[in-house]
Amino acid sequence: MKVQKRVSIQGEWAKVKEDINEGDLIKILDEGKVISGDYGDRNVFKIETKNGEKIQSFNQTTTNYLIDAFGDETEKWIGKKVKVWIVKSNVGGKIRNVVYLTAPDWVEGSDGYYPPSGGNIPVIDEDEIPVIEEDVDEDGNPF
């Protein structure tokens, strides 16, 4: 039987509405670790909150936002301040507080959270849109 080593991280988990609140600026203290758990791998980082050093799992959306802001090398995230957003969402059939982190200059709009430029959706030139060619007969049916 093959077994897998589990990596853990020492520290106390950040608690929503106690250690971190909507609008707080927190500091990333390390490059993070991938921790395997019952629900898959998680990216876990040490953060500095108003109540001291804690650990926080960064969901994929947060990771994507921070890549947009600071690049894809988490070593470059160390020392960066990030803004806390707390959203109620259905997680596993229960409504829970979900934490998202962004660059500090992001703002809330009527339909989401955005960098100050007004959005993070890249503008694509029509010439860059890939065209998928399919083999079709004279009626337009693929074969």
Q: pLDDT, tens digit, for every residue of 65-110?
A: 999 999 999 999 999 999 999 999 888 889 999 999 999 998 877 7
Q: What's the mean pLDDT in 112-126?
A: 56
106 assigned to some structural domain: yes
Give domain status of residue 55, yes or no: yes
- Phi, psi (deg, nearest 5) at residue 115: -65, 165
3-class state of residue 141 by DSSP? coil
Q: Let me know if 97 is exposed, middle or buried by CB neighbors in 10 A (0-12, 13-18, 19+).
A: middle
Q: Is residue 102 domain-resident?
A: yes
**Does residue 123 carry a pLDDT above 50?**
no
**Residue 135 falls inside a structural domain:** no
Q: What is the mean pLDDT of residues 113-130?
A: 54
SS3 label, residue 98: strand
Do residues 70 and 27 touch, judged by C-beta distance below 8 A? Answer: no
Residue with tokens 């074969």: 143
Q: Which domain holds residue 80?
A: 25-128
**What is residue 86's three-state secondary structure?**
strand
| Structure confidence at residue 82 (pLDDT) | 97
Judge whether 5 lies within some domain.
Answer: no
Q: Over the stretch 15-71, which tens digit does the pLDDT of each residue have?
A: 999 999 999 999 999 999 998 877 788 899 999 999 999 999 999 999 999 999 999
- Tell me if 143 sits within 8 A of 137, measured CB to CB: yes
Q: What is the dihedral of CA 62, 65, 69, 70, to 10 degrees?
A: 50
Tell me what pLDDT residue 72 has.
Answer: 95
The mean pLDDT value of the chain amounts to 81
Alpha carbon distance 81, 113 (integer Å): 17
Q: Does residue 53 belong to any structural domain of this protein?
A: yes
Total domain count, the chain: 1
